Structure 1
């Protein structure tokens, strides 16, 4: 079940609306820019988000927030010109060890420049005890963010085991709707995504979705 802080988080009601068809047209809570390993300039990603008509967006570059200010400014510019840009949520993708497996964690909707996240925003994965999943969970929580396991079926351990371990550590949810086949145009992978959704629903945890875009088209990976 969700912790009280997660229940009160302003992003939680949005994530409660996530369905199989929410991405990439309405919501995208996982994408990248040139500020980590993506190909899109922050301003170009913002323009694509507006053109698509996204309602909510989080850019989750690996271990950094460098793109956030530029994207926010670009969306504000689109708004001044009469467009209806998406609500932008601060996000980051952090590597950590869960059950001895290297996984990625999405931190969403956290406070800017919170000291707890400083070690994780230096452009590279940390080493030592800070790499443990419980340390990452604590850091994101202290910053006021939600903690979600990214693409649970992409790791060497089965998603059932990883989600169970994540739930025990106090993760708020996981990325459910994901294109594991990495098609040219994003669409969720049948069966595996549905199994992850059922697992999270049973646990009362949040579901997210995202294209995990690394290329030049926000509708694909």
Structure 2
């Protein structure tokens, strides 16, 4: 039986494992088709695909773009695209610069409250990957400014705190166009995570479909309730969107995001991989 996990992260963005370690763990979990979808980056893709070939699983090109819809932050996963496409490469370069500018601003804000050297510390922890708030949080723990990660966010980095620097992400239509230009499939990531009313969620999916989007994640992670999954199926049917599944894996010690934990796509939804050249087992 084929097991798809089309949403996960390595340490090339905000995950814990290297691309090789992630692929190895996915293979051990029984995943047969994997997409590494690091945030705004394909830096780990070549490594993941090379290791996937050695362990006998299919590693599909993937990325998770940040964008804006109706002034809300939304994530769109791009799948099965040409990773050498110039438009996509320009997009990842642009997003990387945006993220670097945000990291610099976070460091400037933290310096205002006496926390100096945080950018260098966060960059060292990132090890060449994108720098995000979790890296700043770990640095603050390491230097003794806070007791733990939770306290770092509560005091300095969480919503409304001094290190909560808002990012100017592109509109959702722009991101969908990037993915489409690269011959990929654009998918709304973890649609239930945005805490939209059902009416708003349906509007998001309708606007996404009108912009050229192809699918939504019908199941995200292991703790989604059956009724929520049924409703995602209904939204797919109403909007004529395809369905995807993904764990949103970041770290080994988070069981509700374990690789392969999202299970099988329910009946009544056309899978996003229906038109891809992949071998699907019964």
User: Is the TM value for this pair above 0.5?
Assistant: yes
Partner of 1:214: 250
Shift of 1:218: 8.5
Partner of 1:174: 216
Matches within 5 A, 1:121-160: 121-122=92-93, 123=96, 131-158=170-197, 159-160=201-202
Shift of 1:187: 4.0
Task: From 215, 227, 232, give the equivalent of 1:196.
Answer: 232
Q: Does 1:118 align with 2:89?
A: yes
Contact 1:147 1:171 in 2 (8 A): yes
Partner of 1:31: 8
Q: For residues 27 and 15 of structure 2, what CA distance do their matches in structure 1 show?
A: 19
TM-score relative to the length of structure 1: 0.76
Higher helix residue share? 2
Contact 1:33 1:61 in 2 (8 A): yes
Q: For residues 91 and 125 of structure 1, what CA distance do their matches in structure 2 show?
A: 20
Q: For residues 193 and 163 of structure 1, what CA distance do their matches in structure 2 show?
A: 15
Shift of 1:147: 0.6
Contact 2:14 2:250 in 1 (8 A): yes
Partner of 1:63: 40
Q: Does 1:162 align with 2:200?
A: no
| Cα pair distance change 1:144/1:198, threshold 3 Å | same
Gapped regions of structure 2 (runs ≥ 5): 100-166, 258-282
Partner of 2:65: 94
> Could you say which structure has the larger radius of gyration?
2
Task: From 9, 16, 20, give the equivalent of 1:43.
Answer: 20
| DSSP-derived class of the 1:40 partner | coil
Q: For residues 37 and 175 of structure 2, what CA distance do their matches in structure 1 show?
A: 15
Shift of 1:124: 6.0
Structure 1 stretches of 4+ moved >6 Å: none
Partner of 2:79: 108
Kindly indicate whether structure 1 or structure 2 has the higher relative contact order, using CA contacts under 8 Å at least 6 residues apart.
1
Partner of 2:134: none
Aligned length: 185
Shift of 1:74: 1.3
| DSSP-derived class of the 1:121 partner | helix
Shift of 1:156: 4.8
Q: For residues 199 and 124 of structure 1, what CA distance do their matches in structure 2 show?
A: 35
| Cα pair distance change 1:27/1:97, threshold 3 Å | same
Contact 2:187 2:216 in 1 (8 A): yes
| Cα pair distance change 1:205/1:125, threshold 3 Å | farther
